[in-house]
Amino acid sequence: MHQPIILGIETSCDETAAALFRGHEIIHHITATQLVHTSYGGVVPEYASREHNKLLGPVVRGVLEQSDMTLADIDGIAVTQGPGLAGSLLVGLSYAKGLSLGLKVPLYGINHIEGHIFANFIGQSELPTPFLCLLVSGGHTQLINVESSRSYKLIGQTRDDAAGEAFDKVARLLGIGYPGGPLIDKLSKTGDHSFHQFSRSSFPDSYDFSFSGLKTNVLQYINKQKPEFIRTHLEDIAASFQEAVVDVLAKHTIKAAKDFGHERIVLAGGVAANSRLREKMTELSEQHGQELYQPDLRYCTDNAAMIAYMGYWKSLLGSSDSLDIAAIPNLKLSFGG
């Protein structure tokens, strides 16, 4: 049977990425991280769209060349429709529409969040639903009951900052740089995570999260110390902050899985790359007899492989989109029940 060749395109934030899939199997993928934002300590939307414009053509050509393929081999185009930065999404979507029209192949608009969730199963021809998903990225912190690939129920979410946002903001407070998550993760490896007990928020009878109090707690703590002390204990402070985030994420997730009777837990999003979160979730899920899925590190942060993989699933269902679809910056998962 001919397996469809799907080209995936991702431009929702500051990664310009393309991937090629044959059926459910990845052939090749490229992610170009835009470096222009580093000196600003965060993503500058105007620069992001300009960079996508510059990088997308070469990235798509690169993925085709390295796969020994040409545009003529492509059977469908999958592209991130949202959520994300409006200008950035538009660059990818317009490019994908142009290719779909020119090559006369179907277009599949993909929800970036679904991409993150199902990135766990790239390469697999079956999706092991139901499961509980902890989605932790720069913009989202949610506990989702995934009943099937198109039925989601929101169990809990952050009431203020997303977990990734907290990592990025605290890294800025500590003067470490951007993006904060991977840098704090790296520093923490040589730090003592019990050096200081930062605050942990939770709400009675709720699986919601809150990280803005923790960020203020870190700020107050570092304001009280001498610069010399911060320099000497940077690794310990980073590790203690990271422990506070991971502690809350892991405990809520395990409790929700037990309360909702889930035997499978799935981690998703950029923060799922965090080594301490992966370690703690492995430990706790083993203790509680739950099966844990964690995306391959390459597919935690934004990438086009997860978009192409979702395109494959949409192609199986025959659910292509019209060339009229719009970029939706605040696209949500549709939560039922």
Identify which of residues 156 and 181 has a Cβ nearer to ligand KG4 in the complex.
Answer: 181
Which residues neighbour 39 within 8 Å (Cβ) at sequence distance 6 or greater? none
- Within 135-164, the residues that bind Zn ion by CB under 5 A are 137
Would you tell me which residues interact with ligand KG4 (CB under 6 A)?
Answer: 13, 116, 137-139, 164-165, 167-168, 179-182, 185, 269-271, 273-274, 301-302
Identify which of residues 13 and 77 has a Cβ nearer to ligand KG4 in the complex.
Answer: 13
Looking at the DSSP bridge assignments, the partners of residue 111 are 82
Which H helix or E strand runs over 266?
strand 264-268
Identify which of residues 180 and 311 has a Cβ nearer to ligand KG4 in the complex.
Answer: 180
Q: What is the SS3 assignment for 27? A: strand
The Cα–Cα gap between 98 and 92 comes to 10
Alpha helices (runs of H) in the chain, residue ranges in sequence order: 45-66, 86-103, 112-118, 163-173, 180-188, 212-224, 227-232, 234-259, 275-287, 305-317
Binding partner selected for residue 274 from Zn ion, ligand KG4, none, CB under the kind-specific 5 to 8 Å limit: ligand KG4
> What is the closest distance, in whole angstroms, from the C-beta atom of residue 299 to ligand KG4 in the complex?
10
Structure-token pair, residue 117:
């969730």
> What is the closest distance, in whole angstroms, from the C-beta atom of residue 63 to ligand KG4 in the complex?
19
> What is the closest distance, in whole angstroms, from the C-beta atom of residue 149 to Zn ion in the complex?
18
Binding partner selected for residue 139 from Zn ion, ligand KG4, none, CB under the kind-specific 5 to 8 Å limit: ligand KG4
> What is the closest distance, in whole angstroms, from the C-beta atom of residue 324 to Zn ion in the complex?
25
Neighbours of 134 (CB within 10 A): 28
Structure-token pair, residue 217:
């707690």
Q: What sign does the dihedral 44-50-51-53 (CA atoms) show?
A: positive
> What is the closest distance, in whole angstroms, from the C-beta atom of residue 34 to ligand KG4 in the complex?
12
Binder of Zn ion out of 161, 208, 236, 302 (CB under 5 A): 302
Is the distance from CB of 294 to CB of 5 less than 8 angstroms?
no
Q: What sign does the dihedral 295-302-136-170 (CA atoms) show?
A: positive
Binding partner selected for residue 167 from Zn ion, ligand KG4, none, CB under the kind-specific 5 to 8 Å limit: ligand KG4
Q: Applying CB under 5 A, does 235 fall inside the site for Zn ion?
A: no
Identify which of residues 139 and 191 has a Cβ nearer to Zn ion in the complex.
Answer: 139
> What is the closest distance, in whole angstroms, from the C-beta atom of residue 110 to Zn ion in the complex?
12
Binding partner selected for residue 164 from ligand KG4, Zn ion, none, CB under the kind-specific 5 to 8 Å limit: ligand KG4
Q: Applying CB under 5 A, does 165 fall inside the site for Zn ion?
A: no
